[in-house]
Chains A and B, each alone.
Chain A
Amino acid sequence: MGKLWLGLGAIALIELVGLVLTYLRPGKPRGSDDAGTVVEAGAVEKFLPNSVTAFVRGKFYLCRLEDGGFLALSRKCTHLGCTVPWMNEEKKFACPCHGSAYDMRGEIISPPAPRPLDAFAVSIENNVVKVNTHRPIKRSEFQKEALVYPKKA
């Protein structure tokens, strides 16, 4: 009889813990449905090759490499999440927190960052560059296929 009560008590406890954990689970962040996360960066010609443009609201950098390919990089350092500023004179992203540095393609120049900057999906429609900031893409290294080129007119 005592064991029965103990068992029932244990089940009740497990239920209670489950209930509390479910209650505490983080919900969807407010105002982040899929539709609102595609940012129109602007016309292709606005971005010169070998340039980096910051988008404060979308929290990303739009990089145009020397060969004209587009790449959208998250501004979050992959080490511990600080915001990395673009140093135009030195042509690198330098994290103020622990000294990580990345080049224009998001590749690591100096550690402690464990992986390149996360990227966002870029698409070009009707000569307008669009960036989907819904989900950052984690990468282990830069791949040329990730670049998006405008169609030759």
Chain B
Amino acid sequence: MRPAQQNHPVTEQLSLIRRIGYSIFPGLARQPEKPRGYRHFFNTLILHFRPRVVPERTLRFTLTWGLGGMAVVLVFMLMGTGLLLKFAYEPFPGRAYDSIVRLQNDVLFGQLIRNIHHWSANLLLVVVFLHFLRVSFTGAFHPPRQFNWIFGLSLFVTVLLSNFTGYLLPWDQLAYWAITICTGMLEYIPFVGAKIQHWIRGGPEIGPATLSNFYAIHTAILPGCIIILMAFHFWRVRKAGGLVMPRGPGEDAPSRRETVPTIPNLILREVVVALVLIASILVLSVVLNAPLEAKANPGLSPNPTKAPWYFMGFQEMLLHFHPLFALFVIPFLIMFALVSIPYMRYPETTPGVWFVSSKGRRMALTGAVAGLIATPTGILLDEYLIDFVAWIPGIPSLLNNGVIPLAFILVGIWGFYSIMKRRYGASKEETVQMVFVFCLTAFLILTVTGIWFRGTAMKLAWP
């Protein structure tokens, strides 16, 4: 007697289709008496990726707002539509623009596919940004989630770069000049900037080499990075025992014991979010076309020439600081501050509570209001009143347009920190959050100013 036949049905009696089916999924053949069907098969497949049970509290929609899941859905939509676009797109300066026009006019659903790709990409930036806010305001970066914060930040940068490299590909006026100024920014990185710029552009100026570089980076390197980083990101969520447990201010951390099965409780919710998201993007893409301006003309910069909207904050800073500071020192400081947030020493932590505590909520509001007042005031003062360059002439503009104004701002932020800490008698976690909110508001206002309040020749103007 052959032992193998104990577990398998007598194959001679089965139809060919059954036999092929069992050869693909041997699990189905093991219990032929009570076939549990495809539903069972899919469930076991899902449970390879998801935990068997999840704490009931973390299912609350207002904990995550479904943002992480949305980001995953958008990434897959982008990869799908991106693959389709690859069949139509020709990455050569003379032909790229025409291939896009042909895609839009002559290919059935061509315009729709491009629209879905465009709107998903923009929405992805918004979604990952909101996800970042959610994680920071629920304190989901404290141990054991410290390093996942770093993975998250890396993913954010990768998504930003994906958007940016994709921006050049249509080769229209918008793309060409936005990439001109953005790669022009690289030159101000000390020592290595000019070299990096030469590499990215594939030569001294934007041309065929730039386009093939961006095409390769956009369609192969960055998607690869995103997939790898995403895998690590999810793995760390699992390792941390799932999501942070939501609780009210003053409430003790709840136990993880009240769990419910993942299927259907979590999966159903995720599918609903995904379907609503996909439906909304489809509607948006039917109604609104992705922009396409005139073909790129290296001899004519449109007035005003603006960076993509997600770089408007930095563009606005360019108008106020020496480029070395706007493009290197300040972004470096921001990145350093963000990376160090989970690694600061907090005497006590409150993961799972929105805005740390009741006092934390009041202070966050104070930070937001302060940012809301200070930033527009600063922009207006710098536009019409403050002029360090004229007041302190005869020194390099690196000093009077960089070090000195930045020093004023940093001293201001430090003063704000220490005064508020004393006034509220607040913990470090609450005060750090307040400064974070302040800087965040300032950056958002800079971005809004850049998008809507800058007109011809980058003068302040009403939208």
Chain A residues proximal to chain B, CB less than 8 Å: 24-27, 29-30, 56, 59, 75, 79-85, 94-99, 111-112, 114
In contact, A83 and B300 (Cβ under 8 angstroms): yes
- A79 CA to B198 CA in the complex, in Å? 16
In contact, A114 and B397 (Cβ under 8 angstroms): yes
Chain A to chain B: the 6 pairs with minimum beta-carbon distance, closest first: A80-B184, A96-B303, A81-B184, A80-B181, A82-B301, A97-B305
- A81 CA to B205 CA in the complex, in Å? 9
For B300, give the chain A residue with the smallest CB separation. Answer: A83
In contact, A83 and B319 (Cβ under 8 angstroms): no
- A127 CA to B454 CA in the complex, in Å? 47
- Further 10 A-B residue pairs, CB within 8 A, beyond A25-B199, A114-B323: A26-B201, A29-B203, A80-B184, A80-B323, A81-B184, A82-B180, A94-B457, A97-B177, A97-B181, A112-B319
In contact, B204 and A99 (Cβ under 8 angstroms): no
Chain B nearest Cβ from A72, distance in angstroms? 16
- A80 CB contact (under 8 Å) in B185, B199, B299: B185
Residues of A within 8 A of B323 (CB): 79-80, 112, 114
For B182, give the chain A residue with the smallest CB separation. Answer: A80
Residues of B within 8 A of A94 (CB): 457
- A12 CA to B305 CA in the complex, in Å? 46
Residues of B within 8 A of A83 (CB): 298-301
Contact with A along B161-201 (1 / 0, CB 8 A): 00000000000000001001101110000000000001101
Residues of B within 8 A of A85 (CB): 300-301
- A85 CA to B457 CA in the complex, in Å? 12
B: number of interface residues (CB 8 Å): 36
Given contacts A97-B304, A98-B319, contact A24 B458 (CB under 8 A): no
Residues of A within 8 A of B209 (CB): 26-27, 29
In contact, B208 and A30 (Cβ under 8 angstroms): yes
In contact, A26 and B300 (Cβ under 8 angstroms): no
Residues of A within 8 A of B181 (CB): 80-82, 97-98
Residues of A within 8 A of B397 (CB): 111, 114
Given contacts A99-B459, A111-B401, A112-B319, contact A82 B305 (CB under 8 A): yes
In contact, B458 and A98 (Cβ under 8 angstroms): yes
- A94 CA to B304 CA in the complex, in Å? 11
- A95 CA to B207 CA in the complex, in Å? 21
Chain B nearest Cβ from A122, distance in angstroms? 21
In contact, A96 and B301 (Cβ under 8 angstroms): yes
For B179, give the chain A residue with the smallest CB separation. Answer: A81
A-B contact pairs, 11 of them (CB 8 A): A59-B299, A80-B180, A82-B180, A82-B305, A84-B301, A96-B457, A97-B177, A97-B458, A98-B318, A98-B319, A99-B459
For B180, give the chain A residue with the smallest CB separation. Answer: A81
- A85 CA to B202 CA in the complex, in Å? 26
Instruction: Indicate if B322 sits at the interface (CB-CB under 8 A).
Output: yes
Instruction: Indicate if B150 sits at the interface (CB-CB under 8 A).
Output: no
- A126 CA to B139 CA in the complex, in Å? 76
Residues of B within 8 A of A27 (CB): 209
Instruction: Indicate if B389 sits at the interface (CB-CB under 8 A).
Output: yes
- A144 CA to B396 CA in the complex, in Å? 22
Contact with A along B297-325 (1 / 0, CB 8 A): 01111111100000000010011001100
- A81 CA to B298 CA in the complex, in Å? 11
Residues of A within 8 A of B457 (CB): 94, 96, 99
- A95 CA to B208 CA in the complex, in Å? 25
Residues of B within 8 A of A98 (CB): 181, 315, 318-319, 458
In contact, B184 and A96 (Cβ under 8 angstroms): no
In contact, B304 and A96 (Cβ under 8 angstroms): yes
In contact, A29 and B207 (Cβ under 8 angstroms): yes
Contact with A along B452-463 (1 / 0, CB 8 A): 000011110000
- A137 CA to B458 CA in the complex, in Å? 28
- A24 CA to B213 CA in the complex, in Å? 9
In contact, A99 and B208 (Cβ under 8 angstroms): no
Given contacts A24-B199, A81-B184, A112-B318, contact A96 B305 (CB under 8 A): yes
- A67 CA to B338 CA in the complex, in Å? 57
Chain A nearest Cβ from B67, distance in angstroms? 34
For A97, give the chain B residue with the smallest CB separation. Answer: B305
